[in-house]
Amino acid sequence: MKTIKGPAIFLAQFMDDSAPFNSLDGLCKWASELGYKGIQIPTWETRLIDLEQAAQSQTYCEELKGKIASYGLEITELSTHLQGQLVAVHPAYDIMFDNFAPDPYKNNPKERTKWAVQQVKNAATASRRLGLNVHATFSGALLWHTMHPWPQRPAGLVEMGFKELADRWLPILNHFEEEGVDVCYEIHPGEDLHDGVTFERFLEATGNHKRVNILYDPSHFVLQQLDYIEYIDHYHEFIKAFHVKDSEFNPNGKKGAFGGYSDWIDRAGRYRSPGDGQVDFKTIFSKLTQYGCDVWAVMEWECCIKSPEQGAKEGAPFIQSHIIEATQKAFDDFAGAEIDKEHLKKILGL
């Protein structure tokens, strides 16, 4: 068994134009004072990291690590959620997902995809230079618009979709293999990897590539009504990153999982600050510890009710209270005895 590391915090949702949320130094000081020990860095935020320079310069990476360490923090993972999303975009979503790309690549899906692929590859090299062996990202989606089987999906469509998705990711995964870094896909609605079945489809389509792994976030499974506890039993060997985010699902006679196109506050399924929703974190931390999952517990704040400042303030002690110091001995060791084969034979009546 392994003791989960933490508490840590994903900085993406806290970026702002006002101090302390507009600079790496400001955020590090703020996070450290709240009791966090690690930060997950969104690589699209140039105020936090120059990804291209990090991929090219070991000196830059050492200076970045040193600055973060000066606040008593370390980097848990780099994140390319936005760039990973752009590796695979169905044309129906082109206009909306253009928001994730720099201006020169907007209205040009092919060039946008090339840019995204290089960004994720840069993150692999930067991770290696920073001494990290796991990376957080999204898979993107070519099939999501067919999630509900109406109109009927023609035979072979799903298989073709996952083959294309795998073909786009294989050169990236091979680069991660060269750098010795695992790719942890956040299993998330809107991605082609959104549950256990789709993760398995993708894994198979990549030829069971060893760098294909999971960022486990139970909040997304509550909204799908998927058993997020049993999910750990099935996929614990692939879980190498962990977001601590809460959610709730409260359907009624007017709305359910599809949400009626409502804003988050009015949906049956909505994200909440840790401890305010329905996720059983006590059991999750127990399961992850039991299976020896070597992960950081990273708080991701997404709540339609509570402020990010309060969520962050409460998040560190919430995570700390759930971290289990993995035992290195059995509780009944005191009653044991030295192994004696003749004694064992007598017990068995041999």
Q: Which residues pair with 272 in a beta bridge?
A: 246
- Give 276's contacts (C-beta < 8 A, 6+ positions apart): 246, 248, 303, 305, 306
Q: Which CATH class is domain 5-347?
A: alpha beta
For position 332, what pLDDT does the model report? Answer: 66
Helix (H) or strand (E) holding 42: strand 38-42
pLDDT band at 339 (very low <50, low <70, confident <90, very high): confident
Classify strands 246-249 and 269-272 as parallel, antiparallel or unpaired. antiparallel
* C-alpha to C-alpha distance for 208 and 212, rounded to whole angstroms: 8
For position 327, what pLDDT does the model report? Answer: 87
State residue 25 phi and psi, 5-degree precision: -60, -45
- Give 131's contacts (C-beta < 8 A, 6+ positions apart): 65
Question: Mind listing the pLDDT tens digit for each residue in 96-127?
Answer: 999 999 999 999 999 999 999 999 999 999 99
pTM score > 0.75 for this model? yes
Contact 229, 284 (CB under 8 A): yes
Helix (H) or strand (E) holding 78: strand 74-80
Q: Residue 304: pLDDT above 80?
A: yes
- Give 224's contacts (C-beta < 8 A, 6+ positions apart): 189, 194, 195, 257
Biggest CA–CA distance in the chain, Å, is 80
For position 251, what pLDDT does the model report? Answer: 97
Collapsing DSSP to helix, strand or coil, 137 comes out as: strand
Q: Residue 335: pLDDT above 70?
A: no
Q: Residue 317: pLDDT above 90?
A: yes
Domain borders along the chain are 5-347
* C-alpha to C-alpha distance for 254 and 66, rounded to whole angstroms: 53
For position 331, what pLDDT does the model report? Answer: 66
For position 24, what pLDDT does the model report? Answer: 98
State residue 324 phi and psi, 5-degree precision: -105, 125
